[in-house]
Structure 1
Amino acid sequence: MEHGDKKRDISIANSLVAKIQLGLPSTVAKLGSKMRFIDQIAPKLRNSGVIRTVTKKVPLTLNVTGIATASKTIPAFGGILYSAGALRQDLSIQDGVVYQTFQDSLVDIDEADDVDVTKKLKFIHINQMYDLLEELLNEVNRPELVIVDTPLILERSDEPLESYEELHFDYISCKERIKHFWKEHKHEIYPFNSNGIKIVSVSSKRFGSVFYGLTSEQTDKYMIDSLVTQEISELSMSLDKIKKVGVKKLLNGVLTRRTRTAAYEFDLLTSDNRLEPQFVRELGVINFHFRAGMRTMPLLVEAIGHKGDWQTESIDQLTSYLISLYTIDQLKALPLPLWYASYGLKAIKTGTIIQYYKSQAQEMIKSEKVESVWTEEVDLFGEDNL
């Protein structure tokens, strides 16, 4: 820093000390203000019906399936190598005791361009999930509930540029896979079949989106749960403060143990429904958040159907099952079958398999094994045509 005609050295250590001493009181004051606002608005959210209590089922009797996905990428050969897997874990629970399990899995390992590989892996995982679901529906003994960790439907933002031909092909293929599944099996799935399998996706996306929907003029049209109008009008006046606090922070603050938000149809959030494919978009998508324990993460639940297809009672029962499937109150806890399925994919997550795959590919390239086989086949094919 220049001071008059002299320069003064300021080390990074001095800058950090100064920033901590000056910035800490300001940060604490802002956090305190946000926490006081959350404490103030939480009772209003409960009284209005936006935050609702759910009862845990004890003892639990349920046949349930979890389908988890995982992937790992490493740079190799000017692009990337990826491994992507999906694992299905079935649990038969009787009076709170797991007495039967079953696993099924799919794995894909290949090379790809390092162009939006995140989207490519998303398409792969959704295809794998629907493949496992289709196998499940062809079985005699089906679960009552299936919990997956991938989206059930794509969004328009997932569509890659057409100039990325291979990635765009993967996107179209994924859309067709989703469309085919719901056309073929819609009649076997709840709510289109009152005795059908419930299929739900859980994730942390669109955090707190329900709060934005509270100010919509069409709230009543898309909200599945009934809300207290007077309380909602007061909440609408606090929307600017909610935005400043942050909807994620608010959701973590107001969702306590064994609670959920009011359920709503996706159309509440936007006048331009941009979900894909169109066939499933027309079936409708409903969302709500829930939290099982004080230390578990709030999660968003996504299920297919319109407001008229789901009722408060069916949402409560679904959430009750989800909460009852938690066995520990930890940050990374998930419903039991989904946790087991996720744990079973540890071999992919660690990257050991893809590193071995890379080393073997390098060895084969060095030894020219593949090239020699191709050359032999080409020569042989050429001789046949002479």
Structure 2
Amino acid sequence: MSGSEQQLAIGRQVRLICSTTMAFLTLGYVADTQAGATFKIDDTKWVSVGAGLRTSFRAQESAAGGDGDKWSNDFNLDNIRLYINGQVHKYLKVEFNTDCQTCSNGGEVRVLDAIGKFEVNPYANLWVGRMLVPAERREMNGPFYSAVYNIFSAGTPFEPSDYNLVIKSDGTSAGSFGRDDGATFWGAALDGRFQYAVGFFRGLRGGANADDNILYAQRFAYNFWEVEKNPGYYTSGTYYGKGGDILTVGVSNQYQEDGAGTALDAGNFRGTTADILLEKVLPGGGVITLNGEYKNYGISQGYSQASRDAGGGFDMFEGNAFDVSGMYLFPQKIGIGQFQPFLRYVNVAPSTSATREVYEAGLNYIIDGHNAKVFASYQYGDLLSKGLNYKTTATGEDVSQMMVGFQWQI
């Protein structure tokens, strides 16, 4: 090997080692600024890095009319997130996170969060930049802190900011992965029991929203038992008993004038939700967790069914939907983790299309809370085949789906 070839080989090894080191140093969630490795600069300045990985396998049977014995077999890279958090002043912080937002198409690393934080006291704080739009608990949990792995694709309809994975300005996007560009005021009162987040965002870009109307979003929650402790206005779908006995009820609302439809047939979007988390630690150490959410979405002053059926524009959901799940964490450790069986039911009833539902039974293997767990489930219903099609012509059969998922964080 020549000297130049040796230098190239050494360079590749150094880059590989650096990339691998960063990957292992950066396992986390968009939440805790102290996750992963933290590097202290002085008494007020620090930087932390983290990352998170979710990958799964799913097999779904063909609907009636096709080959009934045929199943799809898909390996998926669901998320690979890199996080950087820092503090530049006692009251000033910054957060920058990325994700593979087109993982199924080869994977492009894109900006997930880019937040400038003014955090003064528990009562009133301000975040500006690209961040989670205040919504129901599922969105505030994110995929990494939900109790169920497949919480989004087999769940209730998406908010505007989660409807399209890629931010565009052609009237088909209002954000990405539940995030949007804007500002959020958040805080807590009454010893932390009452928590609020009020935000102002761009919302739908172009199309129906030719006047650039702002999307308004609010979330309010009350902790009746123990106070949930999360960074900012984020939430979790379970604490595996580590947070004590929890009973929290939350409500949220989003509204944008001309936030749905097409440029020629615009409608005002409103999405109202209510959610509840109940987690009880039993005397023997087992943990019962119940999650529930209800959604009522509407579009007024436009966006006719004819336009929806014709296709195009920003086709937001109208109607009602709910999602309920229950699980039990066994106190005994088997091997390196604990088993947590669960049951779940989702019902989506559009006012413009056919009702759809899905039943799910699964088993989580909890190794280290949200940092390390394995998931397996069986799902059955026509939500798996009808999906987000809210046209009057939407059809779909009850089909089965089996999934296995893995989640690692640090």
* Fold agreement, TM-score > 0.5: no
TM-score in terms of structure 1 length? 0.30
- Provide the TM-score with structure 2 as the length reference: 0.28
Please identify the structure whose Cα radius of gyration is greater.
Answer: 1
Specify which structure has the bigger relative contact order, considering alpha-carbon pairs within 8 angstroms and separated by 6 or more residues. Answer: 1
More strand by percentage: 2
